[in-house]
């Protein structure tokens, strides 16, 4: 049962994750290219992506320090988390398949938790890839003329850790019945502060991670409660 549900979810959100991965990898390539002045950023179209969309510096950068991956990473991860959350909740409602899905002989909580677990797992997995690839490239001697310490990646990992909170906020916004889009987006507005705090507070093991975890737990409890009590009319 769980496997069938997982395959169904994967088929529905896999393409979104694949697009996000492609964007991440373009960003990694762009950051690496600005770091070594390879000329990659001068490829027609890529310069626009590098400087205008990804907001990367045009001067030689230090990976994870200056002209870094943070900007494009935050933008892509935010978009991925929002699209995943709304696709899994609003998508079912729009296709009118909630009734079909929730009538499967499986607990409603199990079905919802399965959706959440799979999406959070994919979100974390796919957004960890660009960090690890760029870190591996930066840590490889001879790749670029600047030092590299793993501690330089901590800020981006904080953002990475806070992204499931955004996803859960989007899922709850899509699942929760609302009269209009303004009230529908209340959960997303509510998670903006903890998500921002979790990715900015310096002592991340003591503050950021527990804060993100607390927000995530509250959101999961709310999702399960809404999932059990709302009308699927």
Partner 1 sequence: MEHVIETRRLTKYYGSKCVVNNLDLRIPRGSVYGFLGRNGTGKSTTIKMLLGLVHPTRGSAFVLGENAAELSPDARGRIAYLAEGHPIYRWMTIRDAVRFTRAFHRQWNQPLLDQILDHFELSPKQKIRRLSHGQRAQVSLALAVAPDPEVLILDDPTIGLDTVVRRDFLESLIQIIQRQGRTILFSSHILSDVERVADRIGILVDGVLRVDCPTEKFKQRVRKIVLGFAGEPPEFPACPGLVSSRTVGTDLELIVVDYGDEHQRLAESLEPSSIEVVDLNLEEAFIEYTRGPRRRLPIFAGEESDDQSIGNQGAA
- C-alpha 134/C-alpha 128 separation (Å) is 10
Candidate list 25, 40, 78, 106; residue touching partner 1; CB under 8 A: 106
CB of 96 to partner 1, least distance (A): 4
CB of 232 to partner 1, least distance (A): 4
- Is residue 67 within 8 A of residue 77, CB to CB? The reply is no
- Is residue 144 within 8 A of residue 57, CB to CB? The reply is no
End-to-end CA distance of the chain: 25
Q: Which stretch, 1-9, 35-43, 62-70, 123-131, contacts partner 1 (CB under 8 A)? A: 1-9
- C-alpha 113/C-alpha 108 separation (Å) is 9
Under rule CB under 8 A, residue 145 binds partner 1: no
Question: Per-residue x/- marks for partner 1, 79-98, CB under 8 A?
Answer: ----------------xxxx
- C-alpha 221/C-alpha 199 separation (Å) is 22
CB of 183 to partner 1, least distance (A): 15
3-state secondary structure of 67: coil
Q: Tally helices (H) and strands (E) across the chain.
A: 9, 0
CB of 17 to partner 1, least distance (A): 16
Candidate list 10, 37, 107, 136; residue touching partner 1; CB under 8 A: 107
Candidate list 39, 105, 142, 145; residue touching partner 1; CB under 8 A: 105
Q: How far is CA 52 from CA 46, 56, 62, 101, 221, in A?
A: 10, 8, 19, 42, 40
Q: Which stretch, 5-13, 36-44, 165-173, 201-209, contacts partner 1 (CB under 8 A)? A: 5-13
| Alpha-carbon 111 to chain mean position | 21
Under rule CB under 8 A, residue 183 binds partner 1: no
- Give the orientation angle of helix 154-175 with respect to helix 108-139, to 10 degrees: 160
- Is residue 102 within 8 A of residue 232, CB to CB? The reply is yes
Candidate list 1, 43, 128, 221; residue touching partner 1; CB under 8 A: 1
Candidate list 147, 180, 203, 229; residue touching partner 1; CB under 8 A: 229
Under rule CB under 8 A, residue 151 binds partner 1: no
* 55/183 with CB nearer partner 1: 183
In angstroms and rounded to an integer, the radius of gyration of the C-alpha atoms of the chain is: 19
CB of 70 to partner 1, least distance (A): 35
Residue 203: how many CB atoms within 10 A of its CB? Answer: 8
CB of 206 to partner 1, least distance (A): 42
List contacts with partner 1 (CB under 8 A): 1, 3-5, 7-8, 11-12, 95-100, 102-107, 229, 231-233
């Amino acid at each position: 049962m769980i496997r069938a549900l997982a395959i169904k979810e994967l088929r529905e959100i896999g393409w979104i994750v694949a697009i996000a991965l492609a964007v991440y990898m373009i960003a990694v390539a762009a950051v690496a290219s600005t770091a070594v002045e390879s000329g990659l950023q001068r490829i027609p179209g890529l310069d626009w992506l590098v400087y205008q969309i990804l907001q990367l510096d045009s001067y030689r950068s230090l990976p994870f320090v200056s002209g870094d991956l943070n900007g494009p990473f935050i933008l892509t991860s935010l978009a991925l988390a929002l699209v995943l959350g709304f696709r899994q909740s609003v998508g079912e409602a729009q296709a009118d398949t909630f009734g079909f899905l929730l009538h499967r002989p499986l607990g409603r909580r199990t079905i919802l938790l399965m959706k959440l677990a799979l999406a959070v797992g994919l979100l974390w997995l796919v957004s960890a890839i660009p960090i690890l690839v760029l870190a591996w490239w930066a840590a490889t001697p001879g790749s670029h003329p600047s030092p590299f310490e793993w501690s330089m990646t901590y800020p981006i990992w904080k953002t990475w850790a806070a992204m499931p909170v955004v996803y859960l906020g989007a899922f709850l916004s899509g699942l929760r019945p609302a009269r209009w889009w303004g009230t529908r987006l209340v959960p997303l507005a509510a998670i903006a502060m903890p998500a921002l705090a979790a990715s900015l507070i310096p002592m991340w093991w003591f503050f950021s991670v527990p804060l993100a975890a607390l927000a995530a737990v509250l959101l999961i409890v709310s999702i399960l409660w809404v999932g059990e009590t709302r009308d699927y009319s």
